[in-house]
Amino acid sequence: PTPVSIRHLREMHAKGEKIAMLTCYDATFARLFSDAGVHSLLVGDSLGMAVQGHDSTLPVSLDEMVYHTRCVARARPHSWLIADLPFGAYHDDMAQAVRSSVALMQAGAQMIKLEGGGWTAPAVRALAERGIPVCAHLGLTPQSVHALGGYRVQGREQSGADRLVREARELYDAGAALMVLEAVPGTVAQAVRDAVPDLVTIGIGAGPDCSGQVLVMHDMLGLTPGRLPRFVRNFGADFPSAQAATRAFVTAVADGSFPQVGMHTY
């Protein structure tokens, strides 16, 4: 199969074909997910919890993100490869954001992702101008968990929803090519789509009106112990192997059966 490019993702968005994304932190799963048809892999700083055993993403360092990005990239996946800028690696200024992003791109990332609204617009612009594709991330931004007062749904009230739409517009204008929307009511994703129709959105707990869906791989495979967020579907419970569960995830995203309104949405 031809490697997935940003042009390919834009085309899928334009045609209404749904993009399937999973987090991925190592070479074995990179190959498995790529072979199963996952369009994009995200080396997420969720590895702080899923791999390192922390209770938030805040302790994850840039060096650790570089290490996992290298592990995933070495598998030469056909999927579009995105890496997260971790907490503190883009918070000082634009120059730091560029330096940190260069490290991730040199490790094999094709796009970097950063969390936050308007304050990140100068960094998004600087990166886009320098040929580094950017994925923005709005809604529940886990690096801000302490400011948000916990892992809570965002944009439930009108003022919060309006702000998210404004910020989506601002980040798109600054050059963000992709945007993750996390834990927001489906109506917020609809409003973003209506306001910024060309923006490629990837939802996680944001309802079906996104260009694609992402899950943390351990949640999708049913390997995460304890109570899971409402938006997770455990494909591992219904399919006998990681390969089969992953193919089922890609199919369910493509045919719209995941996420199911009412069941996986806020």
Binding site residues, ligand KIV, CB under 6 A? 23, 42, 44-46, 84, 180, 182, 204, 214, 216
Q: Does residue 113 contact residue 135 with C-beta atoms inside 8 Å? A: yes
Using the structure block, give the residue that is written with the tokens 């996952």. Answer: 38
The least CB distance from residue 196 to Na ion, in Å, is 21
Which window, 10-18, 44-52, 94-102, 192-200, contacts Na ion (CB under 5 A)?
44-52
102-121 residues near Na ion, rule: CB under 5 A = none
Going residue by residue from 75 to 94, which x/- string records binding to Na ion, judged by CB under 5 A?
---------x----------
Nearer to Na ion, 142 or 222 (CB): 142
Neighbours of 180 (CB within 10 A): 26
45 binds Na ion (CB under 5 A): yes
Spatial CA neighbour of 71 closest among 30, 136, 20, 26:
26
- The Cα–Cα gap between 266 and 261 comes to 8
Q: Does residue 12 contact residue 236 with C-beta atoms inside 8 Å? A: no
The least CB distance from residue 43 to ligand KIV, in Å, is 8
Site residue total, Na ion (CB under 5 A): 3
DSSP 8-state symbol, 143: G
Spatial CA neighbour of 39 closest among 13, 55, 20:
20
Catalytic residue annotation: 182
The residues of the shown chain that bind Na ion, judged by CB under 5 A, are 44-45, 84
